Copies of this chain bind each other. A is one copy, B any other.
Amino acid sequence: MTSRLDCEVLDRDDPLSSLRKEFVLADELIYLDGNSLGPVSAAVKRRVNEVIDSEWATGLVRSWNSAGWMAAPTALGDRVAPLIGARPGEVLVADTLTFLIAKLLGAALHLRPDRHVIITDEANFHSDLYIIEAVAKRAGRPIEVQVLNRKDIPAALNDDVALVELTHVDFRTGEMLDLFGITKAVHDVGALMFWDFAHSAGAVPLDVTGANVDFAAGCGYKYLNAGPGAPAFAYIRREWQSQMENPLPGWLGHVRPFDFELDYEPATGMQAFVTSSPSIIAMAALDGSLETWEKTTMNEVRTKSLALTDLFIELVEQRVPGAFEIVTPREHAKRGSQVALRHDHAYAIVQALIERNVIGDFRDPDICRFGFTPLYLRYVDVYDAVDVLVDVMNNKAYLDERFSVRNPVT
């Protein structure tokens, strides 16, 4: 069995160990919820205050030019691009994930005018399902949304299908889908592939170029650590950009925004998918958080992520055998950067852990979810978290009646 001393040795030899000090994390806390909201880094705080004190306070309106605010959506997009394997000019940072899905999906349907089906996964995140239905309803032609069990998707692919939208890493179970295989199967029937990378970007290596992905979007506040409700990112494969029309256009996507023309004429490339003036303070936080990402590679991150999740699974199985169903796949190729444990008392177990300074979260109806984020988590954190979990399980701390009523957010 792996000992705490073994974990200390692993931490000593960890090539990422120097990055932890960039984050603000209380010593007494073990934070296994960076897959929901990443922590603050010193660079985020520095960049936000630089923007407030210098670019905004001193530069004032002049900073739209002089501080590069106008170009922030595409400039930051180019810095996110390496995290998903995209090429320069293919990624935009703006808005929120749901708005970007609405824009890309609305535009993409026009690329397959003779097809009438969108396929998605019934285990998809709910904002995806709601916005897909909403966009389909306003597509200008009848669109059927098929919300399927993911195992039934291959059989449902045919030449009626315009587009498939899937979340690449399941937000509940942590299962990672086959980026290359599914994209190819979708292309084989002439449909387009749209991946939601909310739980993938910064969690697992991605290669949208190699996999021929058409569209993708993801969020800035989970593994990217850009703060609550941070701007999201969107990817449109270069070849599609000139054929797509932003269904939610705004003046900053106009080719000549300051000519104030009556008719909308889109800018070239991803700029056409910018709608409004970006929130520069929110963009500054992402600007700062990407600095940490630029000190490592996704392969390095992935190696440690798998080691952390392997260790967690091993220790849970050894120390509280049979207590949980381990929902997350053991197979590395099918695992994101989280571990989900199923238990009838999942909600109360998570509350008992939080009370003991181990922060994970609960996902309805019976999942304890733990995110493993290699930039700042140590092997000893995994060990200590399991120590606390063992205590909670052995002492049935989850039966405390304070946990019988659910708080709306956990």
Q: What residues of chain A have their CB less than 8 Å away from a CB belonging to chain B? A: 24, 26, 29, 31, 33, 36-37, 39-40, 44-45, 48-49, 52-53, 56-58, 60-65, 69-70, 95-99, 102, 106, 122, 125-127, 129-131, 133-134, 137-140, 147, 221, 227-231, 247-251, 254, 257-262, 264, 275-283, 285, 354, 359, 361, 363-364, 407-410
Could you name 23 residue pairs across A and B whose Cβ atoms are closer than 8 Å?
A: A33-B60, A36-B61, A37-B64, A39-B60, A45-B49, A45-B53, A48-B281, A49-B49, A63-B228, A65-B408, A95-B95, A95-B96, A95-B99, A96-B276, A126-B264, A127-B275, A130-B254, A138-B140, A221-B277, A227-B280, A257-B408, A279-B279, A281-B285
Q: Are B260 and A126 in contact (CB under 8 A)?
A: yes
- Chain B residue contacts of A99, Cβ below 8 A: 95, 99, 248, 275-276
What 5 A-B pairs are tightest by C-beta distance, nearest first?
A96-B276, A228-B280, A229-B279, A229-B277, A40-B57
- Chain B residue contacts of A260, Cβ below 8 A: 126, 363-364
Q: How far is the CB of A78 from chain B (nearest CB, A)?
A: 19
Q: How far is the CB of A244 from chain B (nearest CB, A)?
A: 14
Indicate which residue in B122, B130, B229, B251 contacts A126 across the interface (CB closer than 8 Å). Answer: B251
Chain B, Cβ-Cβ closest to A275 = B98
CA gap between A263 and B62 in the complex, in Å? 46
Q: How far is the CB of A409 from chain B (nearest CB, A)?
A: 4
Chain B, Cβ-Cβ closest to A220 = B279
Copies in the complex: 2
Q: Are B227 and A281 in contact (CB under 8 A)?
A: yes
- Chain B residue contacts of A262, Cβ below 8 A: 122, 126, 129, 147
Chain B, Cβ-Cβ closest to A63 = B228
Q: Are A40 and B56 in contact (CB under 8 A)?
A: yes
Q: A276-B229, A364-B259 are in contact. Are A57 and B39 (CB under 8 A)?
A: yes
Q: How far is the CB of A20 from chain B (nearest CB, A)?
A: 14
- Chain B residue contacts of A364, Cβ below 8 A: 258-260
Chain B, Cβ-Cβ closest to A58 = B26
Q: Are A133 and B60 in contact (CB under 8 A)?
A: no
Q: A40-B57, A45-B52, A60-B39 are in contact. Are A408 and B258 (CB under 8 A)?
A: yes
Q: A61-B37, A248-B98 are in contact. Are A258 and B410 (CB under 8 A)?
A: yes
Chain B, Cβ-Cβ closest to A232 = B276
Most chain B beta carbons < 10 A, residue from A98, A361, A363: A98
- Chain B residue contacts of A129, Cβ below 8 A: 262, 264
Q: Are A230 and B279 in contact (CB under 8 A)?
A: yes
- Chain B residue contacts of A275, Cβ below 8 A: 96, 98-99, 127
CA gap between A403 and B275 in the complex, in Å? 29
Q: How far is the CB of A143 from chain B (nearest CB, A)?
A: 12
Q: How far is the CB of A351 from chain B (nearest CB, A)?
A: 11
Q: Are A125 and B251 in contact (CB under 8 A)?
A: yes
Q: Are B52 and A44 in contact (CB under 8 A)?
A: yes
Chain B, Cβ-Cβ closest to A283 = B229
Q: Are B279 and A231 in contact (CB under 8 A)?
A: yes
Known: A65-B408, A231-B279. 6 other contacts (CB 8 A): A62-B359, A99-B248, A106-B138, A134-B247, A138-B140, A229-B278
- Chain B residue contacts of A410, Cβ below 8 A: 258
Q: Are A280 and B229 in contact (CB under 8 A)?
A: yes
- Chain B residue contacts of A407, Cβ below 8 A: 65
Q: How far is the CB of A91 from chain B (nearest CB, A)?
A: 19
Q: A126-B260, A147-B262, A282-B282 are in contact. Are A276 and B98 (CB under 8 A)?
A: yes
Q: A45-B52, A70-B409, A275-B96 are in contact. Are A138 and B58 (CB under 8 A)?
A: no
